[in-house]
C-alpha cells in the first residue's frame, strides 16, 4: 500500500511542469502529459481537481492552457496531494473523522499521531517554487552528464 495515490503523483508532476514554465505562459495539457508521461484522460481529471482547489487556472480556446492558480511560493506538496486524494492519513486514528475509539488505551496511537504530524509538516515545507528550482538544477546536471558521455 502506498501513502500517495497515482493521482497525487501525477498532480505533483503536472504542477512541477507548469511551475517550470515562464510566468504567465500557458501550457496545454497535451504537452504536460507528453513531457511527464501521464495518460491524457487521467491528467484532465487531475487538472480539474487542481483547478477546483485553486492551485491551477485553466483557459479554454485556441490560446488556452493552464497556469498556476497562485504563486509557486505559496503552494506546497500537502495542498497538491490533498487536492486530488483528500486528507493524507497514516491510519484511521489520525484521520479527520471521529478518530479511533481505542486511542486513549492504545500505546501505538501516540506513535501514529506523531507520524501524522511529521508527514504533514514535511509536505507543508516542500514548496513548489523550491522544488521547481531543484528540478531545473537536476535536469541541467543530467544533461551535462549526457553531453560528457557523448
- Model pLDDT for residues 86-145, shown as the tens digit of each residue: 999 888 778 776 667 787 888 988 898 899 999 999 999 999 999 999 998 998 888 888
CA 46 to CA 12: how far, in whole Å?
10
Comparing 9-23, 53-67, 70-84, 87-101, which segment has the lowest mean pLDDT?
Answer: 87-101
pLDDT tens-digit profile of 88-100? 988 877 877 666 7
Rounded Cα–Cα distance for residues 81 and 14 (Å)? 12
Instruction: Say what the pLDDT of residue 120 is.
Output: 96
Record: fold of 6-148:
Arc Repressor Mutant, subunit A (1.10.10)
pLDDT at 103: 76
pLDDT of residue 97: 66
- Could you state, in order of their start, the residue ranges of all structural domains in the chain? 6-148
Query: Which pLDDT score, from 0 to 100, does residue 2 have?
Result: 78
- Dihedral, CA atoms, 145, 146, 149, 150, nearest 10 degrees? -150
Cα–Cα dist 59/80, whole Å: 20
What pLDDT was estimated at residue 150?
Answer: 61
Query: How does pLDDT run across 27-66, given as a tens digit for each residue?
Result: 999 999 999 999 999 999 999 999 999 999 999 888 889 9
Q: Which pLDDT does position 37 carry in this prediction? A: 96
CB proximity list for 109: less than 8 A, separation 6 or greater: 93, 100, 102, 103
Amino acid at each position: 500500500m502506498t501513502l500517495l495515490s497515482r493521482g497525487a503523483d501525477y498532480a505533483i508532476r503536472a504542477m512541477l511542469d507548469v511551475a517550470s514554465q515562464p510566468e504567465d505562459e500557458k501550457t496545454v495539457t497535451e504537452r504536460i502529459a507528453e513531457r511527464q508521461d501521464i495518460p491524457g484522460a487521467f491528467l484532465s481529471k487531475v487538472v480539474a481537481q487542481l483547478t477546483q482547489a485553486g492551485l491551477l487556472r485553466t483557459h479554454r480556446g485556441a490560446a488556452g492552457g493552464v497556469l498556476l492558480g497562485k504563486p509557486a511560493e505559496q503552494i506546497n506538496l500537502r495542498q497538491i496531494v490533498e487536492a486530488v486524494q483528500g486528507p493524507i492519513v497514516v491510519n484511521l486514528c489520525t484521520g479527520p473523522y471521529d478518530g479511533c475509539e481505542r486511542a486513549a488505551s492504545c500505546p501505538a496511537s501516540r506513535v501514529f499521531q506523531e507520524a501524522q504530524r511529521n508527514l504533514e509538516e514535511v509536505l507543508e515545507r516542500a514548496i513548489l517554487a523550491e522544488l521547481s528550482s531543484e528540478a531545473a538544477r537536476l535536469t541541467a546536471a543530467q544533461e551535462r552528464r549526457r553531453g560528457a558521455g557523448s
